Each structure stands twice: as structure tokens, then as C-alpha cells.
């Protein structure tokens, strides 16, 4: 890899930045030269910054590639259909026929690892889609066929591999935890097909939540990112990759200065997992979780606290065996404070199967500690098969006055309103979305504390009084 010292005698970018500051001070305070002296000092500072960007670009461009994908799709058409004229010959009309056609996609990737003459390129899962053919276009314009090593929807990551007899550089991965708001960064990729494009900006924010299905906390930057940048590199002024550019927020379809990158620290373990196992190996606790809303927090005595609240427990899972209960607020994992449910999901997911963790939870307004042995997370299909072993099998939220008004209920009615997980015992017992639970085993439910205390008692059978469509229904379910 081209080293920055080829451009800077000290080899340290931070020395240039210190020089920039010193130059500004000298230019302003020096008596000689007046305004002309300050202008010259400012020009020197800008030239130094220009050399910094030039050095970083030269260092990173060789390790960022363009990825072109082709997906073969099938379209069903009536017999006798003549494309592109949309004409059907009545004499040939008959059973439907199929015709294949190709769609193309474009993105970016980063060369992150090599093994002999085999190279690995990290990109976004959504860049590959259901690709049937993948072509890597290197910085020197050469093109090489590539194959998928592994994909992961939860972090929107994918790894592909290709072979090259010509030695190639690999990216240096930095430490995204060292980023601060205001830090300079460069985005490198192929926006709109313009390969080897470099844009500059700053870190606008860190720890941003993204699409609900993505568990990463994102780096926000105003470095210009557009379609085709996905999978490309976000780099710091040391030429280290600190993020993988993934998505933008826009009202126009093009960059408006709100780009988001997956922090590289969320990625490092995934690279190893892809190479060793073909997929990301997540740790699993066996819970469904969410962030507590304001009323739930008030009812449970959690106001002002951060963490992830447990909605459901998988029986015989690490959570169930550890003694976790629905309604517990998990505030720490191995002493690390939990900010929200996505933070908790990442924290547990990054723990290797077989490790024991300490959970700090709030239950009935008291803090307790539990130990759980993490296991390997099952795939989506296997988790769905376990839905029959989820307790209680639904998520409850407070019955606010606004909801009472919408359902035509008097203000005196107490209870919780639920959303039922399909395939669970609750679902099979007849519970439905928007059911309002008012009584459990004879105990009136006036708030979320009442609900969790009743659903967590030692009974194996539960009798629920439900309001459904302004009528009372009795549901019985077993634990």
C-alpha cells in the first residue's frame, strides 16, 4: 500500500494538522506582512490540507473496487407474445411461456483480506441482491469475476472473493470508536457509476439508528454519498477504513448531505465469520425486546433509565435458563451500559457462543444480576419453528386515554392492549391483535406493573378477561 510518508516527510497526518493551527496563529499574530501575511499563511494551511487529502486518496483508491452484478429473472408471458411490440398473434395464443431477462446493479466494495492470490471484498448485502454474476472492476480498470462467500441481512454486509495473479493492496481497518463528531472523513466509491470517486466531509453524528431491520449504529457524514457508493469506504485522515457506506436519507433520490456508514468495529468479526463459516455467527440470548415507551417506563419505575425491555422469553433458551422474565429492563451487559434495544442486540450478537455473560436488570424497581450462557443464534426458519415456545407470545403496551377514545371505551376501563406473535401458544389460544386484557387470573390489570406481575406468577394456567370489539371474551392459555 502507498504510505502517507511518500507525501509527508514526517509520515504523520496529525503533524500537518498541528502545523495548520500553528500557521493560523503565526499568520494572525505576526507583525510583519499584515493582511498579506495572513492571506499567505492561510494559503499555506490550505495547501497542507490539500496534500493530506491527496495522500489519503492515493492510499485508499487502490483498495476500493466497483462491483457490477447481473441477476437473471424470469417473466411469464402468453404464448405468441412478441416483445417489444406487446402483440399477441391470436393464431398462436396458448399456454403461458417463460422468458429470461437480465437486470444489472452497481455498487462498491473494499478489499479487506487476501490469502495467497485469493482476495476478499467487503460490500453491502443489498448491493449483491440475488446476483447470478458478479464482476469486480479494479482501480486500474481491469475486470475479474467474483463469487459470493457469505451474506448477512441483519448488518447489510456481504463478502465476495476473486483471484488475481497480480499483487493487490488491502485496506487498513481503523477503530471507529475513535471517531468524534467534526472529524474529517473521505467517502470512496463509484457513485452513479463514476468509479474511483472521492468526496470529503465531516462526521456529522455517531450512533445513528438506521432501517429497523438493520442492527448497526451508523456514522452520519456530509461527505457526498449517492447510489453506487454503497459498499464503499469511509476513511479517516490516516487512510484507515472506519466505515462502509450503506445508505442515504434524501427527499430527492440524490445526496443532500445525510449519508450513513456501518462502523468498521461492527464489521471486523463478520469478515472472519464469513471466511470461516460462510455467514455471520451471532450470539443468542433468547428474548424479544424493545425500547420502553414513556408510560411503560413510568408504570415500571424506569423513568430516566436506558436499556432494553424484555417482551418475550424463549423457553429453555439462555434467557429462560438464566431466570429473565418479561418486563425486565436490561440495563447492562458485562458492565457495559445499554442505550437501547438495538445496542443490546449488537452487544449480545457480538458475543461468541459458549461465553457466559452477566446481565444487570431492573425488576419490580429493584436491580438484580443474572448470568447467562450465550449460544449460537439460529437462522430465521429455525426461530420461527420455536415460536410455540415463546412466553407469553404477545407484546403489551399501556391502554392510554387516546386508545380508549379510539376504541370507544370509558376512561374508567383499565388494562393493556396487545400485539400477538403468529404461531405462539397465545395465538393458538385465540388471542388477537388489539385485544385488551383487563384481568389475569382474577387480578385486575390497571397498568404495566400489574400486567407483568400477573403474567410472571408461578401459575401454569392463565385465564384472561379480554375486551374485543366492545365485548368481553374469556381466553384460557397454558404456560
pLDDT at 41: 65
**What percentage of residues in the chain have a pLDDT greater than 90?**
74
CA 466, CA 448: separation in Å to the nearest integer?
A: 16
Catalytic member of 156, 217, 299, 328: 156
Contact between residue 39 and residue 17 where contact means Cβ atoms under 8 Å apart: no
CA 242, CA 263: separation in Å to the nearest integer?
A: 6
| Band of residue 251 on the pLDDT scale cut at 50, 70, 90 | confident
Where do the structural domains in the chain lie, given as residue ranges?
4-62, 65-274, 283-386, 392-478
Using a 10 angstrom Cβ sphere, with 0-12 exposed, 13-18 middle and 19 or more buried, the burial of residue 343 is buried
Compare 405 and 435 and report the one with higher pLDDT. 435
Compare 467 and 211 and report the one with higher pLDDT. 467
Confirm whether 89 is a catalytic residue. no
> Helix 34-60 and helix 13-29: axis angle, to 10°?
170
Whether 392-478 and 283-386 are alike in CATH topology: the answer is: yes
When mean pLDDT is compared across 70-79, 380-389, 451-460, the lowest value belongs to 70-79
pLDDT at 35: 67
Which one, of 178, 176, 263, lies nearest residue 216 by Cα? 263
Question: Residue 434 in 3-state DSSP?
Answer: coil
pLDDT at 350: 92
Compare 34 and 457 and report the one with higher pLDDT. 457
When mean pLDDT is compared across 162-166, 325-329, 369-373, 469-473, the lowest value belongs to 469-473
Question: Residue 69 in 3-state DSSP?
Answer: strand
Catalytic member of 59, 108, 126, 222: 126
Which one, of 458, 448, 390, lies nearest residue 418 by Cα? 448
| Band of residue 8 on the pLDDT scale cut at 50, 70, 90 | very low
pLDDT digits (tens, 9 = 90+) for 12-43: 444 444 444 444 444 444 444 566 666 666 66
Q: For the chain, what is the mean pLDDT?
A: 89
Q: State the fold for domain 283-386.
A: Pdz3 Domain (2.30.42)
Residue 324 pLDDT > 70: yes
Q: State the fold for domain 65-274.
A: Thrombin, subunit H (2.40.10)
pLDDT at 83: 47
What are the DSSP calls for 28-39, one per residue?
HH-STTHHHHHH
Compare 458 and 280 and report the one with higher pLDDT. 280
pLDDT at 96: 65
pLDDT digits (tens, 9 = 90+) for 112-123: 999 999 999 999
pLDDT digits (tens, 9 = 90+) for 199-232: 999 999 999 988 878 899 999 999 999 999 999 9
Confirm whether 230 is a catalytic residue. yes
Contact between residue 27 and residue 42 where contact means Cβ atoms under 8 Å apart: yes
Residue 5 pLDDT > 60: no
CA 287, CA 285: separation in Å to the nearest integer?
A: 6
pLDDT average, residue stretch 139-158: 96
Residue 130 pLDDT > 80: yes
Structural element, H or E, at residue 17: helix 13-29
Cα-to-chain-centroid distance, residue 195 = 26
Q: Which three cell numbers stand for residue 428?
A: 393458538
What are the DSSP calls for 258-287, one per residue?
-EEEEEGGGTHHHHHHHHHHSS---EE--E
Q: State the fold for domain 392-478.
A: Pdz3 Domain (2.30.42)
Angle (CA) 260 346 274, round 5°: 85
395 has which bridge partners? 419
When mean pLDDT is compared across 82-96, 243-257, 404-418, the lowest value belongs to 82-96
Confirm whether 343 is a catalytic residue. no
Amino acid at each position: 500500500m502507498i504510505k502517507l510518508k511518500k507525501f509527508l516527510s514526517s509520515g504523520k497526518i496529525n503533524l500537518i494538522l498541528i502545523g495548520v493551527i500553528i500557521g493560523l496563529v503565526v499568520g494572525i499574530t505576526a507583525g510583519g506582512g499584515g493582511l498579506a501575511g495572513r492571506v499567505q499563511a492561510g494559503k499555506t494551511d490550505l495547501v497542507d490540507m490539500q496534500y493530506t487529502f491527496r495522500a489519503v486518496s492515493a492510499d485508499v483508491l487502490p483498495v476500493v473496487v466497483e462491483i457490477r452484478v447481473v441477476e437473471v429473472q424470469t417473466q411469464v408471458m402468453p404464448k405468441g407474445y412478441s416483445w417489444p411490440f406487446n402483440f399477441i398473434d391470436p393464431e398462436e395464443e396458448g399456454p403461458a411461456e417463460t422468458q429470461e431477462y437480465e437486470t444489472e446493479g452497481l455498487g462498491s466494495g473494499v478489499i479487506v483480506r487476501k490469502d495467497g492470490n485469493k482476495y476478499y471484498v467487503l460490500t453491502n448485502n443489498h448491493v449483491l441482491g440475488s446476483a447470478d454474476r458478479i464482476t469486480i472492476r479494479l482501480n486500474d480498470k481491469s475486470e475479474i469475476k467474483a463469487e459470493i462467500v457469505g451474506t448477512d441481512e441483519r448488518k447489510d454486509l456481504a463478502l465476495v472473493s476473486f483471484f488475481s495473479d497480480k499483487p493487490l493492496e488491502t485496506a487498513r481497518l481503523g477503530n471507529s470508536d475513535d471517531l468524534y463528531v467534526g472529524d474529517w472523513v473521505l467517502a470512496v466509491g463509484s457513485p452513479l457509476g463514476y468509479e474511483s470517486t472521492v468526496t470529503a466531509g465531516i462526521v456529522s453524528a455517531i450512533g445513528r439508528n438506521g432501517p429497523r431491520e438493520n442492527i448497526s449504529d451508523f456514522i452520519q457524514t456530509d461527505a457526498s454519498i449517492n447510489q453506487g457508493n454503497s459498499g464503499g469506504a469511509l476513511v479517516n485522515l490516516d487512510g484507515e477504513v472506519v466505515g462502509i457506506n450503506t445508505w442515504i436519507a434524501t427527499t430527492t433520490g440524490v445526496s443532500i448531505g445525510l449519508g450513513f456508514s456501518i462502523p468498521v468495529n461492527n464489521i471486523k468479526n463478520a469478515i472472519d465469520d464469513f471466511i470461516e463459516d460462510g455467514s455471520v455467527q451471532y450470539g443468542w440470548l433468547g428474548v424479544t425486546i424493545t425500547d420502553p415507551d414513556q408510560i411503560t417506563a413510568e408504570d415500571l419505575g424506569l423513568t430516566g433509565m436506558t436499556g432494553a425491555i424484555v417482551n418475550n422469553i424463549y423457553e429453555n433458551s439462555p434467557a429462560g435458563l438464566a431466570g429473565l422474565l418479561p418486563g425486565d429492563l436490561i440495563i447492562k451487559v458485562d458492565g457495559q451500559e445499554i442505550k437501547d434495544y438495538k445496542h443490546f442486540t449488537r452487544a449480545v450478537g457480538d458475543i461468541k457462543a459458549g461465553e457466559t455473560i452477566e446481565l444487570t436488570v431492573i425488576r419490580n424497581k429493584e436491580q438484580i444480576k443474572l448470568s447467562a450462557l450465550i449460544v449460537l443464534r439460529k437462522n430465521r426458519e429455525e426461530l420461527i419453528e420455536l415460536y410455540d415456545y415463546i412466553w407469553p407470545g404477545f407484546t403489551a403496551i399501556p391502554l392510554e386515554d387516546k386508545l380508549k377514545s379510539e376504541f370507544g371505551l370509558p376512561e374508567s376501563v383499565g388494562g393493556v392492549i396487545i400485539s400477538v406473535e403468529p404461531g405462539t401458544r397465545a395465538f393458538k389460544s385465540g388471542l388477537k391483535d388489539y385485544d385488551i386484557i383487563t384481568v389475569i387470573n382474577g387480578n385486575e390489570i390497571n397498568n404495566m406493573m400489574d400486567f407483568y406481575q400477573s403474567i410472571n406468577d408461578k401459575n401454569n394456567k392463565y385465564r384472561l378477561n379480554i375486551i374485543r370489539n366492545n365485548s368481553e371474551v374469556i381466553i384460557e392459555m397454558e404456560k
